[in-house]
Amino acid sequence: MTTVVTTPPQEQRSGQDPHQPQSPQDTHARRFGLPIATALVMGNIIGGGIFLLPASVAPYGTISLVAFAVLTAGAIALALVFGRLAEKHPRTGGPYVYAREAFGDFAGFLAAWSYWITTWVSNAALAVAAVGYLDVLVPVHGSTAATIAAALILQWLPALANLAGTRYVGAVQLIATVLKFVPLLLVAVGGLFFFDSANLGPFRAGDSGALGAVSASAAILLFSYLGVESAAVSAGEVRDPARNVGRATILGTLGAATIYLLGTLAVFGTVAHDKLVTSTAPFSDAVNTMFGGSWGGTAVACMALVSMVGALNGWTLLSAQTPYAAARDGLFPKAFARKKRGVPTVGVLVTVVLASLLTVYNYTAGSDGVFEILVLVTTFTATVPYLLSTAAQIHFLASGQTDRVHRGRLVRDAVLAALAFGFSMWLVAGSGYAAVYQGVLFLFAGVLVYAWMSARKQRAEGAGRR
């Protein structure tokens, strides 16, 4: 039988991490308030995927807009579920904490392991997307070595900001979130005045059926919504997490959804379909079409780079938080539980190294479709903690644990959890065989890690009892 260790109620309400108290003398560590927590959610959702995804889903036709609408509803359902869970479990780790509380160590480990994979593979994908916009400013696509170097620099700069402390992470995140709204609002609102239905292309461009096209495009688009759980994962760094995590999650997701839908529609209506399919910087192409010349596209490329670096900054923090929470419980190596300046430094370093290696591998193995391949792998791995989190909520509701659920919202929360679970299952189906195959290999590799770590944990507990 697996013993689940829970945090005392006083610690849950305060959100203080009992394993890692913050020193008042550490001026580089600072808890996030509601504005920065919301910026973390929005900054990670509107990371960089939106700047490239209109071109990624264009081959499916405008039916991908239907997928976007369905995906938005699913993302909001997930956000509401995470908000509910965070009210009762306001601790660093998010999906890991929920799965472990409900189902024990192994489920918690799977959530932590798969989410960790999602974060560093996402960082590699974001760096690839950022290079596409860097190419507008400094042509690097002609050289594989230059492309790889640019992608690595874009990953390591945010990692260095994280190592400087949470104080700097929050500042970078807030500035980047504000700056990224400029190009997105410019295209989302201004593009509607230049909208031409002739640019939309066919409703269904591929050979697959309507349901298959919606599922396939939604699987790619999910990447643009990864991050709804950002505040929940970093709950230990948020002030008054029982209240602010849920609010930040909902506000950030709704704000991102509005901009996403308007921005994608505007790009589809301003850039000709045949050009959009092959575009590496669709928002730049949209602005160039709106105003003529190349100055607008260059300006958007600059702001898109700021946005993506900001997203890499936030995702790098998240990539270290879940292993940190698991390491505190003996399910990840102890090194991941070490913090400096409020940041798990080992987690940051290991993550950026793995993301760098993956980036180099994908470019050297063949650069065609690198972004789409990485996106689909993260789509599958992200659904594992999503499924486990929604299943945990269903478990808490069905088992009648009054300390973990709100009885007055029982029916509504049950419906939301069921919708979020079904939505996550649908995304697994839409990921495609190749992505599921690669994702399962990543996931099963963790079983050996769990076997080793759980054996060490039991040995240590046995020694302690003696």
pLDDT per position as a tens digit, 340-398: 877 788 888 999 999 898 888 877 876 555 556 666 777 788 888 989 999 998 888 88
Q: Is the pLDDT reported for residue 47 higher than 70? A: no
Percentage of the residues of the chain whose pLDDT score is greater than 70: 82
The tens digit of pLDDT for each residue in 228-240 reads: 887 787 777 777 7
Of 129, 147, 145, the closest CA to residue 284 belongs to 129
Poorest-pLDDT segment among 65-69, 298-302, 401-405, 446-450: 401-405
Mean confidence (pLDDT) of the chain: 77
Q: Terminus-to-terminus CA distance in the chain, angstroms?
A: 20
pLDDT of residue 401: 64
Question: Span 72-97, mean pLDDT?
Answer: 83
Question: What pTM was computed for the model?
Answer: 0.75
The tens digit of pLDDT for each residue in 150-205 reads: 889 988 988 887 887 666 666 666 777 777 777 677 777 888 888 888 888 777 77
- Across 140-149, 205-214, 267-276, which has the greatest mean pLDDT? 267-276
